[in-house]
């Protein structure tokens, strides 16, 4: 009887987990364009996660750049929806490597929290080898849900720096901010939990957040920042929402990113 109850509970938790993740990940398979459409120099990259899942990404070099920005994107679309952002990074002199999590774009598999972490590890390992080959290091950049992957990487790998933008503490806090039901935060608090990992980060940190973010409350970005060890900087992007940070920030935004990367030894 006890064993049957354990099996039933396991099935129920698995079902709940699937429901949660179906509301978190919104992948698109079709790439609407490649960097060629914007005249950008790039390299098609294929890599393999620890469980054998094949992943796809783009490496965009920048003249004179030694360090490499590992771009962990948010929960919707795929890498092709970040082309304008990638172009502006390259124009600012920042080399980047962006990859699609499993189930996104040309990457195989289906998205999950555990899978996202495996994918991020594989991407970091590729980026580290690439950066080392040109005498540089990897700076992990995570936006929105990608910030969760970035914080995770900063605790299991050794990035030279960590940049977090428009991201949050954990799924429980996010749920509570939109639907303040009793017990909801506790149930989901261990999912996508950057807050729990934050004290383990051992890298300089730059956190950016818009004061008009309509998706991730500014307070959650500030709470995560407070939990991160120094050295760290917080940049408030005036008038920026969730998806227009780099547009609202303009040239000063990219200059701030480049200064952070350039200070890395």
CATH number at residue 101: 3.40.50.1820
Instruction: Kindly report, residue by residue over 60-102, the tens digit of the pLDDT.
Output: 999 999 999 999 999 999 999 999 999 999 999 999 999 999 9
3 occurs within a structural domain = no
151 occurs within a structural domain = yes
What does the DSSP assignment read for 152-170? HHHHHS--SEEEEES--S-
Can you name the residues that pair with 59 across neighbouring β-strands? 43, 97
> What percentage of the chain carries pLDDT values higher than 90?
85
Global pTM? 0.91
pLDDT at 8 over 80: no
Helix (H), strand (E) at residue 175: helix 171-178
What DSSP designation does 102 have?
Answer: T
- pLDDT level of residue 6 (50, 70, 90 thresholds): very low
> What percentage of the chain carries pLDDT values higher than 70?
90
7 occurs within a structural domain = no
12 occurs within a structural domain = no
pLDDT at 255 over 90: yes
> What is the C-alpha to C-alpha distance for residues 253 and 69, in angstroms, rounded to an integer?
15
Question: Residue 168's pLDDT is what?
Answer: 97
Average pLDDT score over residue span 120-128 = 98
> What is the C-alpha to C-alpha distance for residues 175 and 42, in angstroms, rounded to an integer?
38
Q: Pick the residue with more confidence: 188 or 166?
A: 166
54 occurs within a structural domain = yes
Question: Residue 11's pLDDT is what?
Answer: 31
> Count of H helices and E strands in the chain?
9, 10
2 occurs within a structural domain = no
Q: Which range marks the domain in which residue 206 is found?
A: 27-262
- pLDDT level of residue 21 (50, 70, 90 thresholds): confident
What is the count of structural domains for the chain? Answer: 1
3-state secondary structure (DSSP) of residue 28: coil
Instruction: Kindly report, residue by residue over 36-66, the tens digit of the pLDDT.
Output: 999 999 999 999 999 999 999 999 999 999 9
> What is the C-alpha to C-alpha distance for residues 238 and 81, in angstroms, rounded to an integer?
24
């Amino acid at each position: 009887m006890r064993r049957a109850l354990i099996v039933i509970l396991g099935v129920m938790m698995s079902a709940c987990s699937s429901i949660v993740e179906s509301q978190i990940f919104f992948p698109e398979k079709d790439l609407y364009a490649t960097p060629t459409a914007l005249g950008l120099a790039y390299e098609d990259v294929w890599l393999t996660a620890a469980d054998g899942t094949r992943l796809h990404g783009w490496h965009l070099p920048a003249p004179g750049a030694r360090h490499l920005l590992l771009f962990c994107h948010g929960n919707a679309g795929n890498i092709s929806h970040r082309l304008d952002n990638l172009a502006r990074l390259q124009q600012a002199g920042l080399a980047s490597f962006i990859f699609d999590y499993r189930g996104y774009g040309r990457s195989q598999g289906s998205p999950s929290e555990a899978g996202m972490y495996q994918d991020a590890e594989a991407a970091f390992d590729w980026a580290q080898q690439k950066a080392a080959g040109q005498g540089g290091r990897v700076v992990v950049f995570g936006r929105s849900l990608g910030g969760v992957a970035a914080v995770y990487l900063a605790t299991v790998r050794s990035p030279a720096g960590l940049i977090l933008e428009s991201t949050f503490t954990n799924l429980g806090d996010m749920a509570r901010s939109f639907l303040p039901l009793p017990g909801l935060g506790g149930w989901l608090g261990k999912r996508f939990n950057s807050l729990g990992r934050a004290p383990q980060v051992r890298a300089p940190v730059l956190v950016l957040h818009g004061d008009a973010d309509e998706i991730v409350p500014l307070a959650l970005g500030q709470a995560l920042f407070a939990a991160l060890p120094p050295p760290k900087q917080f940049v408030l992007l005036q008038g920026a929402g969730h998806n227009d940070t780099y547009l609202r920030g303009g040239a000063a935004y990219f200059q701030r990113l480049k200064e952070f990367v350039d200070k890395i030894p």
